[in-house]
A and B are shown apart, each in its own frame.
Chain A
Amino acid sequence: MDGMHDMGGRQGFGAVRYTQNAQAFHADWEVRANSLYAFAVRRGIFNMDEYRHAIERMEPRHYLAASYYERSLTSLATLLVEKGVVTHEELEQRARGQFPLAAPSAPGRTNAAARQHFQPGNRVRVRTDHVPGHIRMPGYIRGKTGVVVGVSPAYPFPDAHAHALKADDEPTYDVRFRSEDLWPNSAESALVHVGVFQSYLEPAL
């Protein structure tokens, strides 16, 4: 889905609020939210792709306004409800207030039927896929051409794995793009590398 989470290259944001030795956590509830979602993953209640997708399904205004760990706990609660572990009503009763959840999921998809293997040095093009469900292809590389610089071990295809569909393992490729190709006349010069699943790629002519 072309969701609010797909932040790469969006304009209008200001300076990074950077401090040296910045903390990962700022409050006890953040530590706990992080541990509770990790606990649910360990218990096999949901996988990381389902977890990421439930964050992406948050209402866009809620997504933007929420802190990182509020997004985490919203995903956790959404999946616990969707998997039938708890009900939304029980969570709201226990929380003594509204407990906003993410929006329902749209259909996912299985691995691309025709997939090709690539080697470092191969030129590849990112397919111009538009899907309603989970996808790990940032919008800024859609349709763009780059060069494979690395191959990673096979992993379940996230577009299926986030939707409880049959997810075959497939390799991911570290693909090098030129920022000038990604945002013509509108980017500072850099090489931008993206981990791209095999199903998203085709050979570049």
Chain B
Amino acid sequence: MPDHDRVIQRTATVEQRVEAIQTALDARGMNATEAVEELDHLAQEEWNPKNGARVVARAWVDPPFRERLLANGRAAVAELGLSLPKHHRHLVVLENTATVQNVICCTLCSCTAFTIIGLPPDWYKDLEYRSRVVREARTVLREMGLDLLPEVEIRVWDTTADTRYMVLPAQPPETIGWPEERLAEIVTRDSMIGVARL
């Protein structure tokens, strides 16, 4: 017998659910609306790959900085006025070379050093990238447009703890001698994730 008394209610849309949370917090005097406007701004304007691009460009033109960056990423980016959240206690910078390709991922969720390389792009958070990049990295990179020579060693870094990673891409030889500001303009987020070369 069907249960005629059962009220079938549809699932609220994601927009309705977000609104419900925000208004519920506001109703408790928590000023969520005010606070999230600031956070919206941070997420959309401040946590930007341009930060990481400045770090990469500096590392290319300033070898002592590059050494400090590879030794202690968190301290080195602070020299450029950049910071990570308190819980990102360590920033490990991974240097790509002609024969080594580092690539970062997060198989358990979608962690990134978002204040430095920007919030992760959609594909980074998708199940396809998370499931496959640790097991068939070469094929995944090729599908994404990066066809590596067989002699290039692939090093995948799974962000499973609160250490954060960023890739230091290899500098294109034709850009040697460019000013730092111009170099920063060619550094892409995807090259700092390690799925692209410059």
Answer whether residue A205 sits at the interface, using C-beta atoms and an 8 A cutoff.
no
Interface string of B122-149 (1 = CB under 8 A from A): 1101111111101111111001110000
With the chains together, A188 CA to B130 CA distance in Å? 15
Task: Determine the residue in chain A with the shortest Cβ distance to B161.
Answer: A195
A-B contact pairs, 19 of them (CB 8 A): A5-B109, A6-B108, A16-B123, A16-B126, A17-B123, A18-B123, A20-B196, A21-B190, A24-B120, A25-B43, A33-B18, A39-B36, A67-B14, A68-B110, A73-B14, A77-B21, A97-B11, A174-B163, A196-B161
Answer whether residue A61 sits at the interface, using C-beta atoms and an 8 A cutoff.
no
Contacts of B109 in A (CB 8 A): 5, 52, 55
A188–B16 contact, CB under 8 A? no
Q: Distance in Å from the Cβ of B86 to the closest Cβ of chain A? A: 10
Answer whether residue A19 sits at the interface, using C-beta atoms and an 8 A cutoff.
yes
Interface string of A98-119 (1 = CB under 8 A from B): 1110000000000000000000
> With A9-B134, A22-B121, A138-B108 known to touch, is A95 a contact of B16 (CB < 8 Å)?
yes
Q: How many B residues are at the interface, by size bracket?
A: 35 or more
> With A77-B17, A172-B162 known to touch, is A152 a contact of B90 (CB < 8 Å)?
yes
Additional 16 contacts, C-beta under 8 A, given A23-B122, A94-B20, A140-B134: A9-B131, A16-B128, A16-B144, A25-B44, A31-B43, A36-B18, A36-B22, A39-B35, A96-B16, A97-B10, A150-B163, A179-B137, A187-B136, A191-B154, A193-B156, A195-B159
A76–B21 contact, CB under 8 A? yes
Answer whether residue B182 sits at the interface, using C-beta atoms and an 8 A cutoff.
no
Contacts of B119 in A (CB 8 A): 24-25, 34
